[in-house]
Each structure stands twice: as C-alpha cells, then as structure tokens.
Amino acid sequence: MTIPHPVVSRVPIWRLWLPLCVQTLLILAVPTQAIYTRVTGKPIVLQTAPVDPYDLLRGYSVTLSYEISQVGALRQLPGWQTLPKFTSNAQDLAPNTTIYVVLEAPTLITQPPQPWKSVRVSSVRPTDLKPNQLALRGKASYSRVEYGLETYYIPEDQRVQINQDISEVQRRCPRQQSSPCKPAIVTEAKASSDGIAFPTSLWVEDRNYHF
C-alpha cells in the first residue's frame, strides 16, 4: 500500500506561526532568569581557586573553579554532617545532591573587592539568613560542587589576556604567601534569593573583566 501524500495545499498559515511562537517562547525562556537575576539579584564576590592554566582555555570558553567548588573546603563548615554522603566514602557527597553554601559579606569595601566568606552548609534552603548573608545553591557530585558559574564565553582577544594574567598571578602566588595560597583572583556575580547566581565580572589583581 502506498502512503498517500498529505493534502498540503490547504495548510493554513497559523500552522506555521503558532509552533514558531512556542519555539520563540522556549528560546526566550533560556535567559529570562539570568536577566532577572542580573537586575534584581544581590551582588556577591567569590574567591576563585587556582586553576590549571593549561586547562583554562577550552575552545571558546574560560573555565574557572572556586574555593567553595572543592568539597574539602566545605568539610570544616557547620552543617557538613547533615549533607547526604556517598555510601562507600563518607568524605564525599552523594551524586547530584543539591547543597546550599551560606556566604557572608566582608566588612571592608575595597577595590578590587574582598571575597565573601563561607560560614555554613545545608541540604535545604536556609531561611534564617542575616542581612549580610546569602545562600548559594550548588550541585554536588563526589568531591566537586558546581554552581553554574564555571564557564564563560568571552571574546578571543580578552580570553588570551585573561589567560596570561591568571597564569602570571598563579606563578607569583607561592612566593607571596605561605600555604594555603590565595591568588588575587575573584569573581563578581549576582545571586537571586533562591541561590542561583550569574557572573558579572572577573578581577585578576586590579584588572577587571566584564562578562
């Protein structure tokens, strides 16, 4: 039996624009939260952890990691015991667990800005936050936590510059301080009240790069 051709001559025009409108809404839904958070969110500053300079450039993007991205940095914080652990290794977190890291603003306002300090962790959204505190939501898997702030797409010339700057700072780092060394790299972001953050700029010493 041959498949009959559908009668296409009478296909009304709404059959195109209606699904196209749905598709347009889907596309617009992608950045809605990011735009909303950038306008209404609370600014935070994160200490950016040393990154492997060879791993920094991946195609068209820059990959960054934060101090609070390492589970090791969270183990000493209050609330660690309540987090769901990986069964075979209690040092690591269960895959795909949502955690909230409460950050506290520094008292000094400087330029470049001081990073916020992590004060406790929780598996549920904390409600009893002080005015100078904010809970950042992350997704933990084993020994790493991701906050959705890890990858940036920036123009090529800027990318090379950032890469050079970060490598420079990291190379100098061991001589400046005794361990643990904190290189002067911080990331500014805007975070919403439910803990989702979007990056706004990166500070490498006194140089500021806007995203």
Partner 1 sequence: MVTERFRYQLRQESLQWQAEALISADQYQQLSDRYQFQTLDQRAQNRFTGILIGLGGILLGLAVITFVAANWQAWAKEFRVLMLFSALWGINSLGFWLWRQQRQDWQQRLGVGLLLLGALLLGATMALMAQMFHIGGSAASLFLAWGLGVTVMAYSLGLVPLGVLAFLLLGWGYWDGYEFWRATELSWSSILIQGMPLFAALLLIPLAYRCNSRVLFTLGAIAVTSALYRTADLFSGNQVLQNMSPLFTLAIALLWAYSDQPWEFLLCRSTALPWHSFQPIARALGILNLGAWFYGLSFHDGWKNLVLWTSPRASIPPSLGLVHAVIGLLTGLAVLEWGYWLYRARRDPQRSRFNLTTLVIASGVAIAALTCSWHVNLAMLPVIGPLIFNILLFLLAGGLIRESITTGERNTFWFGMILLILQVLSRFLEYDTDLLLKSFAFAFCGIGAILSGLWFERYLQTHASLSEESS
The residues binding partner 1 (CB under 8 A) are: 1, 3-4, 6, 8-9, 11, 13, 15-16, 18-20, 22-24, 26-27, 29-31, 34-35, 84-88, 94-98, 139, 141, 146, 148-156, 198-199, 211
User: In terms of CB distance, is 62 or 134 closer to partner 1?
Assistant: 62
Q: Please, what is the minimum distance in Å from the beta carbon of residue 208 to partner 1?
A: 16
Give the chain's end-to-end CA distance (angstroms, integer): 59
Of 104 and 150, nearer to partner 1 (C-beta) is 150
User: Strand order in 207-210's β-sheet?
Assistant: 42-47, 185-191, 197-204, 207-210
Tokens standing for 97? 């667990």
Quick one: 104 or 123, whose CB is closer to partner 1?
123
Min dist. Cβ of residue 209 to partner 1 (A):
12
**Residues 106, 160: Cα–Cα separation, whole Å:** 31
Beta strands in the chain (DSSP E): 42-47, 57-58, 61-63, 85-86, 89-104, 117-122, 133-142, 144-146, 151-153, 185-191, 197-204, 207-210
- Closest approach of partner 1 to the CB of residue 101, in Å: 16
Shortest reach from residue 174's CB to partner 1, in Å: 30
Q: Which is nearer to partner 1, 182 or 201 (CB)?
A: 201
